[in-house]
Chains A and B, each alone.
Chain A
Amino acid sequence: MTQIFSRHADSRLRLAAGLGLAAVAFLAVSGFFVARSGAAWQVGVPARQPIPFSHAVHAGQLGLDCRLCHAGVERQAAAGMPTAETCLGCHRQVWNVAAQFAPLRSALALDTPVAWASVSRLPDHVRFHHGAHMAASVPCETCHGQVRTMPQTVRAETLSMQWCLDCHRDPDPRRRPAGAVLARGGVPGDTPPEPLTGLGARRFAHFGVEISALTRCSTCHR
Chain B
Amino acid sequence: MTAGRPATDPTRRDALGLMAASTALALAGCDGPDEFGQPLWSRGRGAPDAASYATVLELDGLGRGVLVHTRAGHAVKVEGNPDHPASLGATDVFAEAAVLSLHDPERSRRVRAGGRPRPEAELEAALAAARETLRATGGQGLRLLTGPVSSPTLRRLIGQVLAAFPGAAWHRHAPLAEDAALDGALAAFGRPVAVVPDLARARAVLCLGADPLGAGPAQIRLARDWSEGRAAGRAAGALPWLCVAGATPGLTAARADRRLALPPAEVTRLARAVATALSVPGLAATAAHPEAGAIAARLRAAGPDALVLAGPGAGPEAHALAHATNAALGSAARRLVPSPLGGEGLDSERLGSERLGGEGKAGESLRDLVSSMAAGTVSHLLVLDADPVGEAPAALGFAAALDRVPFSLHLGPRLDATALAATWHAPLRHPLESWGDSLAFDGTPALCQPATVPLVASARDAAQVLLALLGHSEPEGGPKAGTARAAVRATWAGRWNLPADSAEFAARWEAALERGVAGEAPPALEPTPRPGWDTLRDPPPTDGLVAAFVPDPAVRAGEWAHNAWLRELPQPLTGLAWGNAALLAPATAAALGLRAGDEVMLALEDRRVPAPVLPLPGHAEGVVTLPLGGGRRVGEVAAAGRGFDAGLLRPADGAALAAGLTLHPTGRRAAPPLAPTARGQEEAPRLLAPGGSLAPPPRDASLLPDWPYPGPAWAMAIDLDACIGCNACVLACQAENNVPVVGPAAVAAGRAMHWLRIDRDVLGPAGGPEAAGRDPPATQFRPVPCMHCEQAPCEPACPVNATVHDSEGLNVMVHARCIGTRTCANACPYGVRRFNWEDHRRAVAGALRNPEVSLRPRGVMEKCTYCSHRIAAARAGAAAGDGPAGPARTACQSACPTRAIVFGDLADPDGPVARARRDGRHFLPLGQLGTRPRTSYLARMEGTAPAPPADGAPG
Contact = CB atoms under 8 A, between A and B. Distances in A.
Chain B associates with chain A: yes
Interchain residue pairs A-B with the least CB separation, the first 6: A113-B41, A131-B880, A115-B29, A125-B854, A117-B31, A81-B42
A114 B882 CA distance: 27
Nearest to B804: A217
Contacts of A80: 42-43, 49
Nearest to B39: A115
Contacts of A114: 41-42
B854 A124 contact: yes
Interface in A169-222: 202, 204-207, 211, 213, 216-219, 221-222
A78 interface: yes
B879 A83 contact: no
20 contacts: A76-B49, A78-B49, A80-B43, A80-B49, A81-B42, A81-B43, A112-B25, A113-B43, A115-B29, A115-B31, A118-B31, A118-B32, A124-B36, A204-B807, A205-B708, A207-B705, A217-B804, A218-B872, A222-B852, A222-B868
A131 B41 contact: no
B347 interface: no
Nearest to B873: A77
Contacts of A75: 880-882
B876 interface: yes
Nearest to A121: B32
A132 B872 CA distance: 11
Interface stretch (B97-105, B464-472, B586-594, B808-816): B808-816
Contacts of B810: 218
A116 interface: yes
A206 B710 CA distance: 12
A121 B710 contact: no
B878 to A, nearest CB: 10
B880 A132 contact: yes
Interface string B7-36: 000000000000000000100110110111
Nearest to A107: B42
A85 interface: yes
Contacts of A84: 42, 45
Interface string B871-899: 01100100111100000000000000000
B270 to A, nearest CB: 55
A83 B43 contact: yes
B908 interface: no
A82 interface: yes
Contacts of A222: 852-854, 865, 868-869, 872
Interface in A91-149: 107-108, 111-118, 121, 123-125, 127, 129, 131-132, 134-135
Nearest to B24: A112
B806 A217 contact: yes
Contacts of A219: 872
Contact of A135 (B35, B49, B852, B879): B879
Contacts of B36: 124
B704 to A, nearest CB: 11
Contacts of B808: 218
Nearest to A126: B854
Contacts of A85: 45
Given A81-B43, A124-B855, A222-B865, 11 more contacts: A75-B882, A80-B49, A82-B42, A84-B42, A112-B44, A113-B41, A117-B40, A121-B40, A123-B816, A213-B711, A222-B869
B662 interface: no
B693 interface: no
Contacts of B881: 75
Given A80-B49, A83-B42, A114-B42, A129 B806 contact: no
B223 to A, nearest CB: 32
Given A83-B43, A132-B876, A127 B869 contact: yes
B73 interface: yes
A47 interface: yes
A74 interface: yes
Nearest to B707: A206
Contact of A118 (B40, B45, B814, B815): B40
Contacts of B707: 206
B814 A217 contact: yes
B462 interface: no
A72 interface: yes
B42 A204 contact: no
Interface residues of A, number: 47
- Interface secondary structure of A, over-half rule: loop
Interface string B38-59: 1111111100011000000000
Given A113-B29, A202-B710, A216 B807 contact: yes
B367 to A, nearest CB: 46
Nearest to A127: B872
Nearest to A69: B42
Contacts of A206: 707-708
A123 B855 CA distance: 11
Q: For A74, A81, A121, A218, which residue has the most chain B Cβ atoms within 10 angstroms? A: A218
Q: For B35, B43, B72, which residue has the most chain A Cβ atoms within 10 angstroms? A: B43
A116 B810 CA distance: 36
B710 A204 contact: yes
Nearest to A87: B42
A170 B28 CA distance: 40
Contacts of A218: 806, 808, 810, 812, 868, 872
A129 B876 contact: yes
Nearest to B41: A113
A74 B881 CA distance: 10
Interface string B423-438: 0000000000000000
B453 interface: yes
Given A81-B42, A113-B73, A217-B812, A47 B31 contact: yes
Contacts of A108: 45
Interface string B164-205: 000000000000000000000000000000000000000000
A111 B42 CA distance: 11
Nearest to B40: A118
Nearest to B36: A124
Contacts of B28: 112, 115
Nearest to B875: A132
A219 B869 CA distance: 10
A104 to B, nearest CB: 10
Contacts of A112: 25, 28, 44
A111 B814 contact: no
Contacts of A205: 708
A192 B868 CA distance: 34
B42 A125 contact: no
Contacts of B50: 76
Contacts of A127: 852, 869, 872
Contacts of B872: 127, 129, 218-219, 222
A64 B218 CA distance: 55
Q: For B29, B815, B853, which residue has the most chain A Cβ atoms within 10 angstroms? A: B29
A95 to B, nearest CB: 19
B847 to A, nearest CB: 12
Contacts of A123: 34-35, 816
Nearest to B845: A124
B711 A113 contact: no
Interface in B790-805: 804
B41 A221 contact: no
A162 B708 CA distance: 26
Contact of A111 (B453, B705, B708, B865): B453
